[in-house]
Amino acid sequence: MTTMTEASVREFKMPDVGEGLTEAEILKWFVQPGDTVTDGQVVCEVETAKAAVELPIPYDGVVRDLHFPEGTTVDVGTSIIAVDVSGGAAPEAGTAPAAEQPAAPRPAEEPKAEGSGRQPVLVGYGVAASSTRRRPRKGPEVPVQQVSTAIQTELNGHGGAPSAAATAAPAVKERPLAKPPVRKLAKDLGVDLTTVAPTGPDGIITRDDVHAAVAQPQAPRPEVPAVPATAAPAPAPAVVSYDTTRETRIPVKGVRKATAAAMVGSAFTAPHVTEFVTVDVTRTMKLVEELKEDKEFAGLRVNPLLLISKALLVAIRRNPDVNASWDEAAQEIVVKHYVNLGIAAATPRGLIVPNIKDAHAKTLPRLAESLGELVSTARDGKTSPAAMQGGTVTITNVGVFGVDTGTPILNPGESAILAVGAIKLQPWVHKGKVKPRQVTTLALSFDHRLVDGELGSKVLADVAAILEQPKRLITWA
């Protein structure tokens, strides 16, 4: 059988989405070694800190190797799949996989089709123009003759075979290859990187390598000549253990990791203020039922969130200064003349906040259409990174979980967030009599650098007034 040459193998690297992200988790492979792929074919699905996206391969060929299994987090710029583009047949059954064959040097060229000018991209995003090649390792080069002299000196001193110290040549031992996050992980876990066997491309130590080293006893270090020590070295920190029958640990990564970082940053950057109002929304609930029968809304999702969204948009129109952001560098308040309305959505991968672009300009039927598309896309896990950027204000509907109200944290860069509680039948004074009415509690959190108490109160009061008397959607428009 003809052996495939390394010159015919193209390495497809984890692409840069241009959003400042440095890594992505491989969720699912759609191809296996031996499969034929064509230019533009989706080969895997990955999850970044913002969303799950599909990766297309940029050339034709036969899959030679998948470098990482599903569930692995891979740094941007790392090769994830090798494809033979020579046009040869797929590897025969029983042939040893590429991972078991002797390693050969990786081609230095970028994985793109010859003459096509194409580069690997995430769906809808270009790649950075800079190369991902590793820079030459810094440090003085030691001539081979100097190393040989050191070993010969060791031989002469011992009158026999070279000692472990001589053969190891500690003076010229290379520093293990590992990226800063991996080095920090090793330091936190007390792992000596010189004892870790690398499995990453070009001999790079990965996170999995460090965890594997923790799971097994450390190999003894090569014996070196004794030297006087001024103080005993500090013992390595003990590896934290836990009872797997009583505890479960879930890695924080992807969307959940990004959400956690964003919420902490928001909570400790923007001074939050939250105000509450309880309102009778009986008339709004009646209007929802009437709109469901209207032919203009045929096939559209009509629910209380639709009218709450419209009420907030009208309140912003009446109080435009609430729709703003804080420019820390310029020390300026930026008032937005458009509303990108964010809707917090709980998904299997965590909380995300896609937004409806230019929601202020949409009619009620078009707003209903946009809300329906936003929710269905989020539930399918197909929300794009672009859909989660540029929001100005957000609505979070905690009422769907039976919760009365809350104190929501601002989405970073936004001025306000409205929490909507559960709508319940409650005793309410209506026209001088206590009657059962549909009642809910609204909570508005806002950035006190941008919005003072008066402005925040006016916005919340306007939303409540519209929901109590929805005809104000017409009179205030």
CATH number for the domain spanning 51: value is: 2.40.50.100
Domain that holds residue 17: 6-100
Cα 172 to the chain's mean position, in Å? 40
List beta partners, residue 111.
none
- How far is Cα 473 from Cα 317, in angstroms, rounded to an integer? 11
CA angle at residue 7 from 6 to 12, to 5 degrees?
Answer: 80
**193 belongs to a structural domain:** no
Cβ–Cβ under 8 Å, residues 409 and 271:
no
Structure tokens belonging to residue 206: 């990965």
Is residue 300 in some structural domain?
A: yes
Cα–Cα distance measured from residue 221 to residue 193, given in angstroms and rounded to the nearest whole number: 11
With b meaning 16 or more CB within 10 Å and e meaning fewer, what string describes 120-148? bbbeeeebeeeebeeeeeeeeeeeeeeee
Phi then psi for residue 343, to 5 deg, are: -125, 115
The catalytic residues are 448
Q: Give me the count of residues in the chain.
A: 477
Q: What is the pTM of this model?
A: 0.56
Tell me if 366 sits within 8 A of 418, measured CB to CB.
no
In a domain, 227, yes or no: no
Report strand pairing: 393-397 vs 416-420. parallel
CA R_g for the chain: 30
169: left (phi over 0), alpha (psi -120 to 50) or beta: left
Sign of CA pseudo-dihedral 141, 146, 150, 151: positive
- Cα separation, 326 vs 200, in Å, equals 42
- Cβ-based neighbours of 129, under 8 Å, separated by 6 or more: none
In a domain, 222, yes or no: no
Instruction: Give, for 52, the enclosing helix (H) or strand (E).
Output: strand 52-56
C-alpha to C-alpha distances, 143 to 147, 148, 150, nearest whole angstrom: 7, 9, 11
Of 45, 80, 100, the one marking the end of a domain is 100
Q: What is the CATH number of the domain that holds 452?
A: 3.30.559.10
Residue 356: inside a domain, yes or no? yes
Residue type at position 253: K
CB 44 within 8 A of CB 26: yes
* β-strand pairing of 393-397 with 341-343: parallel
**Other beta carbons within 10 Å of 29:** 17
Domain assignment of residue 134, yes or no: no
**37-43: long-range pairs with CB below 8 Å, 24+:** 37/61, 37/62, 37/63, 37/83, 39/113, 39/116, 39/118, 43/12, 43/81
The per-residue pLDDT string of the chain (477 residues; one tens digit each, 9 = 90 and over) reads 444 456 688 999 888 654 556 788 888 899 999 999 998 899 998 887 667 788 889 889 999 999 999 888 888 889 999 999 886 554 444 343 444 444 444 444 444 444 344 443 333 333 434 434 444 444 444 444 444 444 444 444 444 444 444 444 444 556 788 887 788 777 777 788 888 889 888 788 888 888 787 766 544 555 555 555 555 566 666 666 667 787 887 777 766 677 777 777 777 777 889 999 999 999 999 999 999 999 999 999 999 999 999 999 999 999 999 999 999 888 899 999 999 999 998 887 778 899 999 999 999 999 999 999 999 898 888 888 888 889 999 999 999 999 999 999 998 889 999 999 999 999 999 999 999 999 999 999 999 999 999 999 999 999 999 999 999 999 997
**Is the C-alpha dihedral spanning 362, 365, 370, 374 positive or negative?**
positive
For the chain, what is the domain count? Answer: 2
What pLDDT, on the 0 to 100 scale, is given for residue 331? 87
Question: Nearest-CA neighbor of 193 among 181, 208, 201, 183?
Answer: 183
Q: Which of 39, 70, 100 is the C-terminal boundary of a domain? A: 100
Which of 41, 75, 100 finishes a domain? 100
- Residue 133: the pLDDT is 44
pLDDT for position 197: 87
Rounded Cα–Cα distance for residues 205 and 199 (Å): 6
89, 62 contact by CB (below 8 A): yes
Unique residue bearing structure tokens 């030459």: 136
Is there a domain that residue 174 lies in?
A: no
| Structure confidence at residue 201 (pLDDT) | 83
- Cβ(362)–Cβ(356) under 8 Å? yes
End-to-end CA distance of the chain: 76
Residue 46 lies in a domain: yes
